[in-house]
Amino acid sequence: MDDITFAVLGTGGIGRRALEVSQHKEHLTPAVACDRHGTAIDFDGLDVDELLAATEGNIDNEVATDGGTGATPADGEGGVKQHGEDRGVVASSQARPSEDPIQDVIDHGDEIDAVLLALPNYEHDFIPRVADRFLEGGYSGVMIDVLKRSRVIDMLDERGDEFEDAGITFICGAGATPGLLTGAAALAAQSFVEVTDVEIWWGVGLKSGYQDNRGTVREDIAHLPEYNIETARDLSDAEIEDIIDDHDGVIEFEDMEHADDVLLERAGVCDSEDVAVGGVLDVRSDEKPTTTTVSVTGTTFDGETATNTFQLGDETSMEANVNGPALGYLKTGVRRNRAGEYGVFGPAELMPSF
């Protein structure tokens, strides 16, 4: 397989770890990293260690979609960690300030095989709006996201014809859940002639705590019964810290709106209403509070009812389970794109490349 040059949009927790994990993946060259203040570009390959060291504790992971500075939730809180005079990527010697980092990436699109959207989907149309900019800018290549919300899939599907016309292969929901666990459910379903229910139960221990995972924690809090994506977006950091304290650092989620449901349905595995997603988040411990498990129950061709179960090792971190699959799907997307396959794909329709 030929080498792949890729860009990372957003240098928060997911973006930073994606750059780090890419150093352990063959054929991948991280060439571009950006946030809303600046862009680092080197098509011989970014110095990932320098970039991560320069931005440690100085993260600004939001990227504006309109070419402006982009308003962050709660006046810069939530999903953004800013310290020092130079915020985010521009703290690195490889980067330069930019008023429109997304346009910087689009302008170099001919040299970029794939773009990883490592951006929290604070608004339902945020990822689709980013995709629109690449469509309007004439980009032709691969785009990968790690979004969570079911309703965003329809917004991307609506752009399917445009992606095909532009030569874009878009893989949506390609992280852990949806993503790795969605694909595992699709494989586990192959024993059956009918799938009656899929249960995904995840456990995450954030060793680096809330401060380094603001976007992820905020998106998860939006799944609590008393919140939604709009109200969670407007919470201040102090209010989120209070929610964490109220739960003693361990928050349990049930009946989450995770895109696993519609992604399994579009792959023909089962109806979306037959999929349930929940889990436990521990913001104060390295250890997972529960084992991540996918259970698929169905009927075999000989009329038996059975359940196939897939478990992730408790030693695998959230960063490993999100970014490993994301980069694996990125590699698969490039192979499909080079073969002339364009449009929108889900993680249950493809196998990621190791």
Which residues have a catalytic role annotated? 148, 219, 223
In terms of Cα–Cα distance, which of 148, 320, 277 is closest to 217? Answer: 148
What's the chain's length in residues?
Answer: 354
What one-letter code names the amino acid at 150?
A: S
Q: Do residues 197 and 297 lie in contact, with contact meaning Cβ atoms separated by under 8 Å? A: yes
User: In angstroms, rounded to a whole number, what is the distance separating the alpha carbons of residues 101 and 7?
Assistant: 11
Q: What are the Cα distances from residue 99, in Å, to 54, 55, 72, 244, 273?
A: 20, 19, 15, 35, 43
DSSP designation for 37 = S
User: In angstroms, rounded to a whole number, what is the distance separating the alpha carbons of residues 328 and 4?
Assistant: 12
Spatial CB neighbours of 207, under 8 Å, sequence gap ≥ 6: 285, 286, 317
User: In angstroms, rounded to a whole number, what is the distance separating the alpha carbons of residues 181 and 326?
Assistant: 12
- Helix boundaries (H) for the chain: 13-22, 48-55, 73-76, 101-107, 126-136, 150-157, 160-166, 180-188, 214-221, 229-233, 237-246, 260-266, 318-338
Strand order from edge to edge, sheet including 293-299: 250-253, 275-282, 194-205, 293-299, 305-311
User: In angstroms, rounded to a whole number, what is the distance separating the alpha carbons of residues 95 and 53?
Assistant: 13
DSSP designation for 179 = B
Spatial CB neighbours of 302, under 8 Å, sequence gap ≥ 6: none
